[in-house]
Amino acid sequence: MDINFNKNEDHNKLLVSSLRQRLAKVKLGGGEKRIKKHHSKGKMTARERIDFLLDDHEKSIEIAAFAGEGMYEEHGGCPSGGVVVKIGHVSGKQCIVVANDATVKAGAWFPITGKKNLRAQEIAIENRLPIIYLVDSAGVYLPMQDEIFPDKEHFGRIFRNNAVMSSMGITQIAAVMGSCVAGGAYLPIMSDEALIVEKTGSIFLAGSYLVKAAIGESIDNETLGGATTHSEISGVTDYKAKDDKDALTKIQNIMDKIGDFDKAGYSHKKPALPKEKPEEIYGILPKKRSDQYDMHKIIDRLVDNSEFEEYKEGYGQTIITGYARIDGWAVGIVANQRKIVKTKKGEMQFGGVIYSDSADKATRFIANCNQKKIPLVFLQDVTGFMVGSKSEHGGIIKDGAKMVNAVSNSVVPKFTIIIGNSYGAGNYAMCGKAYDPRLIAAWPSAELAVMGGTQAAKVLAQIETASMEKKGEKVDEKKEKEVFEKLKAKYDEQTSAYYAAARIWTDGIIDPLDTRKWISMGIEAANHAPIQKDFNMGVIQT
């Protein structure tokens, strides 16, 4: 191994170590004191509930763990968006579990909480995946009600989705394990089956204080909407559980009886590990995002037996396309090549840039995968499409549009891993969040932005200094540098993988060694949902 490999390895392992430390902090939710208080009530935490419920919590993936990070600091923060979401197996059935974290503002809903819940439901709808809600929430966080209550993608959309999923035959099970108030009370009751835990669970449209204020009736919360009331008087809930573990066991028993699902029929064979060592990814991926490397070496460490059948190998070389298997599942891979390549005409093409021939190749390959019913995996490390007169005259916009069209209209499931750069229209063409990947994850090395931090800061600095000079301010070299550094620091923060994950632009930041698990679990989920329409690219410029 050369010295650069060792430097890269040290850098990337430090990034993964930082990722683990940040995840450990997130998993504490509202903090150790609040967890202790939660336990004193005889309740398990959201994560403890999920781990108990799943067959094997190690064989699960967490969605949007960093949701809300660095946001709402003036309100005390909202770790993990105040809700934990995982895809795993319950009684042998793959499902998605959504659990309110009552250690974070009593499980109250912030704007990002609503977005995360809607993302969980989106995954369930796209993949026809059973969804289990573990409810323990004080309802909408009132100081921010205007940002979560009335709009199309706000709180009310969740209940609309409950109804839509029910009509689609997607199993929904809800356990009321704590507070469930006001509008939030509809979620468990719009599920197929609802459980409630004695003494800790409660459901009502208005609590005892509001009832007293509204109609003058004096009543305690347990009598108003506790487990006995809703299991024996109102009939709102279907099962009564004596404690959290009893409720979770009942859910496991319900899931155990669910029949098999109609399969999409994606090709699956016995899984095999890569022949090349996956941990070598840390040394291959460069420390500097501007440095070149061969994406083939990354692919060899992700796919079964390190076997990759490349499509149009000698054409359009700044995008790699080909067939492989990941954990036994057949996949079509579309990856940006970050190595400078030379065409047969003797022209040099820069790595990470999409040229016309690369876009043309990718479009054809995506169409082939749709015809063969092969899920697509996009490995992003892209700075954008090639610019300049030669590219413009050659129709780069037209060829790029074809690729975007193919990605947009693809009917096979798509999965996106952001390895490095994800800039500009390259993000779109390589199946960014706006193009409906079933799952989208980023490595700690990822950056998402319109353009790189240095380039953006230079452009913005020129605009700002020109504005200052117009106002009569003196701008010397020192001032220019000061403006540039300030803008670059701000821009770099916004391009970080964590900034994107906090806003759920991605489903998570993952250790590169977990990539195979994410893709495998994603295709397993997608196999629940047979393709409903034919692939059709519509009208395209030729």
Dihedral of the alpha carbons of 299, 302, 307, 312, in degrees to the nearest 10: -30
Residues whose CB is less than 8 angstroms from the CB of residue 460 and which lie 6 or more positions away in sequence, other chains included: 487, 491
> Cα dist. 74→33, 167, 304 in Å?
20, 41, 48
Structure-token match 């009886």, residue found: 257
Alpha helix ranges (H) inside 147-294: 156-168, 186-189, 208-215, 221-225, 227-228, 244-256, 281-284
Q: Supply 139's token pair.
A: 């309802």
Looking only at the bridges linking them, the beta strands covering 309-311 and 439-442 are: unpaired
Q: Supply 207's token pair.
A: 């609590």
Q: Supply 110's token pair.
A: 């912030």
Looking only at the bridges linking them, the beta strands covering 508-509 and 439-442 are: parallel
Residue type, 118: L
Q: Give yes or no for a contact between 110 and 148, defined as CB atoms under 8 angstroms apart.
A: yes
Question: Which candidate, 443, 431, 455, places its Cα nearest to that of 514?
Answer: 443
Question: Which candidate, 2, 26, 25, 6, places its Cα nearest to that of 14?
Answer: 6
Nearest 5°: the CA angle 32, 33, 34 is 95
Structure-token match 């795993």, residue found: 88
**Separation of alpha carbons 342 and 518, rounded Å:** 34
R_g of the chain computed on alpha carbons: 25
DSSP helix/strand/coil, 414: strand
Q: Supply 149's token pair.
A: 């209550």
Q: Please report the beta strands in 205-308, taking only residues with DSSP state E, as ranges in sequence order.
A: 239-241
Give the pLDDT of the chain (542 residues) as one tens digit per residue. Answer: 589 999 999 999 999 999 999 999 999 999 999 999 999 999 999 999 999 999 999 999 999 999 999 999 999 999 999 999 999 999 999 999 999 999 999 888 899 999 999 999 999 999 999 999 999 988 888 788 888 888 888 888 999 999 999 999 999 999 999 988 876 777 888 999 999 999 999 888 777 777 878 888 888 888 888 888 899 899 899 999 999 999 999 999 999 999 999 999 999 999 999 999 999 999 999 999 889 999 999 999 999 999 999 999 999 999 999 999 999 999 999 999 998 887 777 777 878 899 999 999 999 999 999 999 999 999 999 998 887 777 776 778 888 899 999 999 999 999 999 999 999 899 999 999 999 999 999 999 999 987 666 776 677 777 877 777 787 777 777 777 777 777 777 777 888 999 999 999 999 999 999 999 999 999 999 999 999 999 998 777 66
**Separation of alpha carbons 9 and 274, rounded Å:** 19
Q: Give yes or no for a contact between 445 and 15, defined as CB atoms under 8 angstroms apart.
A: yes
Nearest 5°: the CA angle 111, 117, 120 is 145
Q: Give yes or no for a contact between 237 and 197, defined as CB atoms under 8 angstroms apart.
A: no
